Structure 1
């Protein structure tokens, strides 16, 4: 679950439906993004960052932080072995 994404929504006292309306998304998409069941497009991620006035790395650390990039790390380990 993307706790920071959910936390920022709650700080603004917004429902998932309100976020969806503000970002022209479906409520289901917002729910899946918060749960981590779906990844946003870069444009959608930027829209969240603007809405919450937070960095992409903070809202989506599993996508935008290199330290959390387990797929890349596994790929590099296979190449080096």
Structure 2
């Protein structure tokens, strides 16, 4: 990939996602026109466990909950947020 056609994002893992990933965050290089859905697919490819659990997780891009069509920009932070329960 050439530099002008890519962007780098930082993926943050919280709670169980952090435990399963074994790290707090990673950097991923994506195509320049990537969306949150593209990031999800790349993460599923890298982490088998996300394929079965990501549907119950929320994705946030730059500190805002995001839909799959949310565009990413160079330097975006994508947070993988597991379900929260409490009482």
TM-score normalised to the size of structure 2?
0.28
Structure label with greater radius of gyration: 1
TM-score normalised to the size of structure 1?
0.29
Higher relative contact order by CA 8 Å / sep ≥ 6: 1 or 2?
A: 2
- Write 1 or 2 for the structure with the bigger share of helix: 1
